[in-house]
Amino acid sequence: MQDDDYAQPFFNALPPAVAALALAILAVEVLLTLGAKGIIGGPQAIGWRLEAIQEFGFFSPLLAWVVETGNWSPEHLKRFVTYPFVHYGFTHAAFVIVFLLALGKLVGEVFGNIAVIVIFFACGIFGAVIYAGLTGDDRPLIGGFPSAYGLIGAYTFILWVRLKSTGQNEYQAFSLIGFLMGLQLFFGIFFEVGMDWVAEVAGFVFGFVITPALVPGAFGRLLDRMRQR
């Protein structure tokens, strides 16, 4: 391997969609962190994170209110796609970025950039809907974990197909999500945690389910089958 390969910037090795999403999350977090420390924005910047949560976070009662009133204005619907970019702090955002870079790279290399974007936002939206429908928790849902878990679902599907095609135990593909859910259970027993895991599990399930439809040529094959019938 030539020395020039080592000089390649890290983000150049990533699918553009993954790099763009990671940079967007990082940019928002840097802005909020610098504001909280008083480095930028003056004294009022200390409250930027709280304002961002109130303005862009997802709140469970919102879904019921929108359905009841029929008020589907962008002002309310934007929260379904903006909440993954706001986090409780730098550590929270950093873990999401790590998941996004690792799983997004694998998924992007197999299915392409559009699939990464679809999975990220679709699983975030689905996670929010399930979170609102099952928990009714008044605490805001923020952070990119539901979307990141959607990418885990897509990666699990890739691994599941690969193991099955080689005659190996395909259920080994679920070891990663099993490990993560075990961690969730551990923290749930010993620490007070919220119900965000509901959105995360929903994101994983939806990512696993929709991934087959994102396989290149899948839509064309579906149309061919419908014509044959």
> Are the C-beta atoms of residues 18 and 105 closer than 8 Å to each other?
yes
Integer Cα distance of 174 and 205 in angstroms: 11
Cα maximum dimension of the chain:
67
CA distance 14 to 173: 23
CA distance 91 to 73: 33
107 and 35 in contact (C-beta within 8 Å)? no
| Whether the predicted pLDDT of 214 surpasses 50 | yes
Please answer whether residues 93 and 87 qualify as being in contact, where contact means their C-beta atoms are separated by less than 8 angstroms.
Answer: yes
DSSP state of 141: B
CA quadruple 142, 144, 148, 149: dihedral, nearest 10: -10
**pLDDT over 90 for what percent of the chain?**
59
For the stretch 187-197, pLDDT in tens is 666 555 678 99
Tokens of 49: 């994170």
Would you say 15 and 8 are in contact if contact means Cβ atoms under 8 Å apart?
no
Residue 134 has a CB neighbour count (10 Å cut-off) of: 14
**R_g of the chain, CA atoms, integer Å:** 19
Predicted confidence (pLDDT) at residue 7 exceeds the cutoff of 70? no
CA-based nearest residue to 115, from 224, 11, 212: 212
Smallest CA-to-CA distance from 175 within 160, 165, 192, 154 is with: 160
Q: What is the pLDDT of residues 22-63, one digit of tens each?
A: 999 999 999 999 999 989 988 889 999 999 999 999 999 988
Given this model, what pLDDT does residue 116 score? 96
Average pLDDT, the chain: 87
Strand partners, 58: 141
Q: How far apart are CA 159 and CA 177, in angstroms?
A: 12
Mean pLDDT over residues 149-158, rounded?
A: 94
pLDDT score at 203:
97
Domains of the chain from N-terminus onward: 14-222 (1.20.1540.10)
> Which pLDDT band, with edges at 50, 70 and 90, does 15 fall under?
very high
Q: Contact 146/128 with Cβ under 8 angstroms? A: yes
Collapsing DSSP states into helix, strand and coil, what is residue 15?
Answer: coil
163 or 199: whose pLDDT is higher? Answer: 199
Determine the Cα–Cα distance for residues 24 and 163; give it in Å rounded to an integer.
34
What's the pLDDT tens digit per position in 154-181? 999 999 988 888 888 888 888 888 888 8
Lowest mean pLDDT among 14-28, 69-83, 181-195: 181-195
Q: Mapped to the 3 state alphabet, what secondary structure does 172-207 carry?
A: HHHHHHHHHHHHHHHHHHHCCCCCHHHHHHHHHHHH
Predicted confidence at residue 192, as pLDDT, reads: 59
pTM over 0.75: yes
Residues 96-122: tens digit of each pLDDT: 999 999 999 999 999 999 999 999 999
Mean pLDDT of 79-96: 96
